[in-house]
């Protein structure tokens, strides 16, 4: 089956620092894939390139056969790539509905005159956008906070609003950057359920960065592992559990420290 996303020998350098080095991976339509690795492994830098926030130093990103390294960054959302951010990027003084509506911006086609007079296509697009937002609000079970100001919401609720805004882009590929970071157990389980529903009910392919390994192992079809900017493993959750390179990447530093203290 042809991959929806193909990352081919992707690299990113910041001066003398090699943040990502020759990483290749693919994501097939309908999958939930995860990218894991220790802190500083290059995961978010990889996501920033796939979503157009950063330009690669070398390599290619093919989305549905289109080389995205030649595409303007603002066109990534319109092409069907949506994402959330590890650090919330919401408009704190706006309402939940207003924040979610900003996700529809990439799909609006009205001209300046139509928008100023609010007639014709602008009116039809506004009605369709608000209907879509209401569907997303119902899907993510946030009806009770739809009119709340985002800055007054709990961290977990704000995370759900950010997910809603990403869904409003109508992505075919959704990038989730540490969605459950800072959440309690109930909130974490809710997000895991929503990710499965996003794939199964909405038909959206998911690629996520996540440190909560229980979630990664429970819902991922395939896992890609980075360490020091390089991919060191790929496979199913069962294969990744048994991979000695992954164990070393996560535990090697602790083992070395323990051995040093033991010999002192």
Q: What does the pLDDT average to over 144-164?
A: 94
pLDDT bucket at 256, cuts 50 / 70 / 90: very low
Name the burial class of residue 114, with classes exposed (0-12), middle (13-18) and buried (19+) by CB atoms within 10 angstroms of its CB.
Answer: middle
Residue 102 located in a structural domain: yes
176 lies in the same domain as 264: yes
Q: Give me the CATH number covering residue 256.
A: 3.40.50.300
Nearest to 53 by CA among 28, 76, 36, 30: 76
Tens of pLDDT along 90-108? 899 999 999 999 887 665 5
**Region 74-79: what's the mean pLDDT?**
87
Same domain membership, residue 179 and residue 121? no
Question: Where does a domain end: 168, 184, 208?
Answer: 168
The span from the first CA to the last CA of the chain, in angstroms, equals 55
Q: Is the CA virtual torsion 202, 208, 214, 217 positive or negative?
A: positive
- Asked which of 168, 188, 208 is the last residue of a domain, the reply is 168
Q: Is the dihedral of CA 28, 235, 178, 22 positive or negative?
A: negative
Which of 168, 186, 202 is a domain's end point?
168
Spacing of C-alpha 159 from chain mean position: 12
Examine residue 86 and state whether it is found in any structural domain, yes or no.
no
| Pair 32, 95 in one domain | no
CA distance 9 to 6: 10
Q: Let me know if residue 203 belongs to a domain.
A: yes
Our count of domains for the chain comes to 2
Is the domain of 58 the same as that of 187?
yes
CB contact at 8 A, 167 and 136: yes
Find where tokens 């959302």 sit.
Answer: 77
Q: Does the pLDDT of residue 260 top 50, yes or no?
A: no
Task: State yes or no: pLDDT of 164 exceeds 60.
Answer: yes
Residue 35, φ and ψ in degrees, nearest 5: -115, 120
Question: Which is more confident, 263 or 146?
Answer: 146
Give the per-residue pLDDT at 118: 53
Nearest to 60 by CA among 29, 26, 84: 26
Residue 84: which of 162, 156, 150 has the closest Cα? 162
Q: Are residues 213 and 245 in the same domain?
A: yes
Residues spanned by the domain of 42 = 1-80+171-264
Contacts of 113 (CB under 8 A, 6+ apart): none
When pLDDT is averaged across residues 134-146 and rounded to a whole number, the result is 95
Q: Who wins on pLDDT, 263 or 80?
A: 80
What does pLDDT average to over the chain?
Answer: 87
What is the percent of the chain with per-residue pLDDT over 70, rounded to a whole number? 86
Task: Report the pLDDT value the prediction gives residue 87, as an integer from 0 to 100.
Answer: 77
> Do 164 and 51 share a structural domain?
no
């Amino acid at each position: 089956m042809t991959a929806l996303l193909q990352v081919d020998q992707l690299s990113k350098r910041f001066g003398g620092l090699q943040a990502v080095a020759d990483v290749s991976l693919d994501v097939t339509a309908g999958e939930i894939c995860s990218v894991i690795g220790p802190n500083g492994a290059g995961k978010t830098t990889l996501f920033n390139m796939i979503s157009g926030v950063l330009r690669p130093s070398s390599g290619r990103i093919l989305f549905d056969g289109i080389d995205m390294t030649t595409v303007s960054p603002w066109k990534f959302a319109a092409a069907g790539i949506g994402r959330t951010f590890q650090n919330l990027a919401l408009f704190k003084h706006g309402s939940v509905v207003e924040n979610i509506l900003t996700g529809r911006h990439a799909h609006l086609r009205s001209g300046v005159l139509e928008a100023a007079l609010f007639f014709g296509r602008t009116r039809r697009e506004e009605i369709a956008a608000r209907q879509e937002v209401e569907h997303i609000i119902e899907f993510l079970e946030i009806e009770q906070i739809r009119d709340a100001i985002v800055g007054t919401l709990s961290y977990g609720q704000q995370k759900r609003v950010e997910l809603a805004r990403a869904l409003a882009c109508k992505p075919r590929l959704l990038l989730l950057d540490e969605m459950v970071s800072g959440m309690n157990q109930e909130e974490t389980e809710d997000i895991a359920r929503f990710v499965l529903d996003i794939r199964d009910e909405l038909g959206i392919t998911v690629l996520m960065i996540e440190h909560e390994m229980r979630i990664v192992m429970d819902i991922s079809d395939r896992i890609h592992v980075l360490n020091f900017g390089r991919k060191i493993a790929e496979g199913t959750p069962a294969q990744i559990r048994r991979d000695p390179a992954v164990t070393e990447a996560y535990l090697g530093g602790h083992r070395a420290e323990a051995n040093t203290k033991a010999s002192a």
